[in-house]
Amino acid sequence: MIRRAGEHALLVETGSLDVSHRLDALLRAHRPPGVAEIVPGPETVLVSAPGADPSRLLPELARLLGTAAAHAGQELPGAPAVTVPVVYDGADLREVADLTGLSPTEVVERHTGRELVVGWLGFAPGFAYLTGLDPALHVPRLATPRTSVPAGSVAVAGPYSAVYPSASPGGWRLLGRSPMTVWDVAADPPALLTPGTRVRFEAVTAS
């Protein structure tokens, strides 16, 4: 279903993150004229065309959505892959171990043990929600968020993991820190972790 989001935007329901990523990639490769924003979400893609009547985009969007859905489940061509080094000395590592019934070493093994995929970004510029986290590591957010979490903090909350792109308040549980810069306004694109990017964490020792 394609819904109106005001006069100049359409919200395309994709039904799955996988189809959202495919439609997002197709729209970026074949951007219809006038489209300013393409914002993927877990089950939607928002397409904004300020100043235009987006209903003229409908046939093209419906066609691209069909293409995206037809290839669901297959490997997304062109999706970048990133290895993120992490020093696993986070303030909440012990508590996550207690909550999950694992040892801290096992928490690290499970966090580094599978490939995650950037679902979408939100909360702050460059803040990527990483999906595909080992279910054993699904823990609730902190009851009281920290007023400041340093940039580079690697954290988990619910079914997601993330690398804090810049210092900000935060309620996720901190497993460690990465020396990798995931947000740089001078870079193009400024975010390292863009929707669809495959991410693998790698344990490193502090240098």
Residues that bind another protein in the complex, under the rule CB under 8 A: 2-11, 24, 36-46, 48, 50, 54-55, 58, 120-129, 166, 185, 189-191, 194-195
Residue 125 CB, nearest approach to another protein (Å)? 5
How far is the C-alpha of 106 from the C-alpha of 112, rounded, in Å?
10
Neighbours of 134 (CB within 10 A): 19
For another protein, which is the closer residue by CB, 66 or 125?
125
For another protein, which is the closer residue by CB, 10 or 96?
10
Residue 67 CB, nearest approach to another protein (Å)? 19
Residue 106 CB, nearest approach to another protein (Å)? 30
For another protein, which is the closer residue by CB, 57 or 107?
57
Residue 99 CB, nearest approach to another protein (Å)? 22
Report CA Rg, the chain: 18
Contact between 111 and 142 under an 8 Å Cβ cutoff? The reply is no
For another protein, which is the closer residue by CB, 136 or 180?
180
- Which residues are CB-neighbours of 96 under 8 A, at least 6 positions away? 107, 137, 139, 156, 173, 175
Residue 56 CB, nearest approach to another protein (Å)? 10
Identity of residue 15: G
For another protein, which is the closer residue by CB, 42 or 113?
42
Residues β-bridged to residue 25: none
Nearest to 85 by CA among 182, 163, 180, 165: 180
For another protein, which is the closer residue by CB, 47 or 96?
47
DSSP H or E run through 27: helix 17-29
Residue 107 CB, nearest approach to another protein (Å)? 26
Identity of residue 153: S
DSSP H or E run through 91: none
206: tokens are 């502090």
